[in-house]
Amino acid sequence: MLESWRWFGPTDPVPLSYVRQAGATGVVTALHEIPNGAEWPEDAIARRRDMIREAGLDWIVVESIPVHEDIKCGAPGWERYAHIWAENLRRLARQGIRNVCYNFMPVLDWTRTELNYPMPDGALALRFDFTAYAAFDLFILQRENADRDYAPDDLELAEHWFAQSDSAQQERLTRTIIAGLPGSEESYTLDTLRARIAAYGDMDHAGSRARLGAFLDIVLPIAEEEGVRLSIHPDDPPRDLFGLPRIVSTKDDLDWIIAHNPSPANGVTLCAGSLGVRADNDMLEIIESFGERIHFAHLRTVKREADPRSFHEDCHLAGDTDLVAIIRALLALERRTGRQIPMRPDHGHQILHDQEHQSTPGYPAIGRLRGLAELRGAAAALKGLDTTGT
C-alpha cells in the first residue's frame, strides 16, 4: 500500500517536512482555499503539486473537490456546478493528479459532537454522541418537525441533556457541529443551516440517489476520458442526519452507485471508520465485492458505545473494526490486481505534545504518526507471513 498523509495546505499546523519524517511518501490534499463550486486555477494546482514535490513527496490523491449543495438538492442551474467540477478534473489530470476522493453528504460533511473526548490513557479523541446531536437538532437548531425523527426515549434523553447543560456546553456543541470540521465543504450559522436543510424539501433516499446519478452522468465521462479515478467517500456517520437522506452508508448503497454507471472511473474510498460505525457493514465482504473499484483507503477504527449510534475514535488497531484483517484483504487485492492502493491513517488521538500545540481536529501530528506506524507494522508483518506461507 502507498503510505499517505492528509495535509491541508500551507496553513496546516503539520508541515510537509513532518509528513516526510513520519515515513509517508504520498500527500492527500486539495485547494481548500478555493470557494465551493469555483474553478481551480491550473497554475495554482501546479504550484501546490510542485511545493509537495520540493518536500520530497508526491500529491497522489485529491481530497476533495467539494460537490456544490445545489447539485445535491437539485437547485435550478445545478448543472453549471457539475460542469465546473468536471473541468477541475481536466485541470488536475493535466498536472498528473488522477485520483479524486469526494463525498455526497447533504449540507454537513463529517459530523462530531466532541473534539476532545478523554480516553482512559489521557489521549483526546473525537466523539459522536447521539443524544447530544438530538438535543442540538431539537432544542438549539429547532429544526421544523424534528421531533418526528426520534423515538419517545430519544426525545426524553435529548430533553434531559439540554436541561442539564449550561450555555457554554450548548455553544461548544453548536460550534463543533456547524462550524465545519477539517475538509468540510462549508460552515454555517444556525439560520443558514436551517435554510440549507429546508432547500432539500421532502427529498427521500430515492430522490438523493437520482441527484447523485445525474451528477455522475455528467462527470464520469470526463473522468474516464482523462484517466481520472473517482472514489466516493462513505457517509460519516453512516445514517441520516437532520432529516436528510444519506445514501453512501451501506454495501447496498455502494452497489447502487456502481450499478448506476459501470464506468471504470466510478470507484470507492474504503473508509473503515465511517463504514465501521454500523455493525451490519461487513468490511471484508465490501472489499471482496468492490475489489478493483477501491482506489483509496482511510484506515481507522471507532468504538461503538452502549447506544450504538454513539461512537468515539479508537486507537488504529483497537475498536470494533479489525484493521489487521482489512489490511490483509487489501494486500491480497493488491497482489491480485498488480497495483498499490493509497492509504492514510485517519483521525488520530491527540497525544503527548499534540495536546500542548495547535492541532487540527482529527489530524494531530503525533497521533497520526502512531497510527501510521501501527498500520505499517501490521502490513509488514502480514507480508512476512504471506512470504513464509505461515
Q: Quick one: how far is CA 203 from the chain centroid? A: 23
Q: Which of 81, 154, 233, 312 is catalytic?
A: 233
Q: Note if 73 is an active site residue.
A: no
Instruction: Print burial letters for 88-119: b (CB count within 10 Å at least 16), e (below 16).
Output: bbebbbebebbbbbbbbbbbbbbbbbbbebeb
Could you give phi then psi for residue 174, rounded to 5 degrees?
Answer: -60, -45
> Any bridge partners for residue 302, and if so which?
313
For residue 103, give the C-alpha cell. 463525498
Instruction: Print burial letters for 36-55: b (CB count within 10 Å at least 16), e (below 16).
Output: ebeebeeeebeebbebbeeb
Q: Please, are residues 90 and 101 in contact by the beta-carbon 8 Å criterion?
A: no
Of 186, 223, 213, 225, nearest to 66 by C-alpha is 186
Q: Please, are residues 81 and 215 in contact by the beta-carbon 8 Å criterion?
A: no
Q: Note if 298 is an active site residue.
A: yes
| Encoded amino acid at 153, one letter | D
Q: Which of 68, 295, 298, 349 is catalytic?
A: 298
Q: Note if 295 is an active site residue.
A: no
Q: Which of 271, 295, 312, 349 is catalytic?
A: 271
Q: Note if 349 is an active site residue.
A: no
Q: What is the length of the chain?
A: 390
Q: Which of 70, 129, 314, 346 is catalytic?
A: 346
Q: Quick one: how far is CA 363 from the chain centroid? A: 12
Q: Which of 18, 347, 349, 354 is catalytic?
A: 347
Residue 84's contacts (CB-CB under 8 Å, 6 or more residues apart) are 37, 38, 39
For residue 47, give the C-alpha cell. 504550484
Q: Note if 357 is an active site residue.
A: no
Q: Give, in order, the Cα–Cα distances in Å from 66 to each of 19, 102, 104.
A: 24, 7, 9
| Encoded amino acid at 343, one letter | M
∠ CA(346), CA(347), CA(349), 5° rounding? 125
Q: Note if 81 is an active site residue.
A: no
Q: Where would I find the H helices in the chain?
A: 16-21, 42-54, 69-73, 78-94, 130-135, 152-164, 167-178, 190-198, 205-226, 251-260, 272-276, 283-290, 323-337, 365-388
Q: Could you give the residue numbers annotated as active site?
A: 233, 271, 298, 346-347, 363
